[in-house]
Amino acid sequence: MNQPASAISQTLDLEAVRRDFPILSQSVNGRPLVYLDNAASTQKPQAVMDAISDYFSTTHSNVHRGAHTLGDQATAAFEGAREKVRGFLNADSTREIVWLRGTTEAINLVANGLVDTLKSGDEILLSHMEHHANIVPWQMLAKRTGAVIKVIAVTESGELDQDSFRELLSERTKVFTITQVSNVLGTINPVKEMVAAARKMGAITLVDGAQAVPHGPVDVQDLDCDFFCFSGHKLYGPTGIGVLYGRYQVLKDWPVFMGGGEMIERVSFEGTTWNECPYRFEAGTPAIAEAIGLGAAIDYMAGLGWHQVAAAERTLNERIQSWLPDFNGLQVIGTAANKAPVVSFVMDGLHPSDLGTLMDQQGIAIRTGHHCAMPLMARFGLPGTARASFAFYNTPEEVDQFFTGLKKIQRLFAE
């Protein structure tokens, strides 16, 4: 297994760290790759790939109930990864950690569990900046139950309008669901305070942490939310694996989501009883290798040191901000004071998709479009934006390359 490059260093050695990520050393269109699409998916360190390869090479078996050595070893590795997630989230117990495919499936599980609880006139409170994954499942639930969706406004700077939140929150609010960090704007939301207010009204609370976890551990006990979810591929881990944290006192009585093997206690043709938490929500053979890979990602990041990761991101944010004041023709969408290193923008006279293609020709990977946030685009009166999203392994020089690349495109179209 590769050891983190800076495991014995108190500062982040970016050159060494980047060697841990093989994909970053390649060229695209004859240029060194500058990967700035981290909000969509982060790259993977060699340690994660080694963990998955090692599992398939030496340990693979189905988990739980195997009466042989490989089964026991696979189960230990799988459940060991669950414990790593528990520690990362500071959950009280591993019985609160449910393996799923990702954030989307986690939100659907929670929403599906309320079908027989909500009634006509009940309200689901979410915000204008949500990802479609935290909108569509609630629309489906509202259609089935007669519940009403209420939407917290977003200010011109890309922050949640707290007056709007306080005005909409009431005893009719039965569900409050919110993103911790906006995937479009990078805005870091005051979710702890908002969750506390919603819980006082008796609402079930869910925090979408998909964009928060790449930037550091989350303390779900401190947030005091009922549910928290994220996707492994955002946290430098594999695709196809995600996590739903559920407060045990809520989760233990939550309706099951899928039926099949593993999630049962006893099956007969007269009826079936469910397994205990979290297994009652994990029907079928789970994503064993992916879970182990996510555990390796958590280990890798902890080995680097989250304080060092945060410091590297602050440096990137400062470098980004240094370019913005004098960049004519560039409109940044989302200028919150507290934000992750994400830049959503439009440029005068250029469609975002054209920008993406022209940047790719320079080896710079960005994302364009509505970013699965059409209501937010509509709020700003835009069909879409271009988005550059940075991770700790990006360098200040890559920030310069990004803005220099935009300048080059500007000059090209000015001629």
Furthest-apart CA atoms within the chain: distance in Å = 78
Output the six-digit token pair for 368. Answer: 């364009």
Catalytic residue status for 225: no
Closest CA to 2 of 56, 44, 36: 44
Q: State the Cα–Cα distance between residues 72 and 338, nearest whole angstrom.
A: 46
Q: What residues are labeled active site?
A: 372
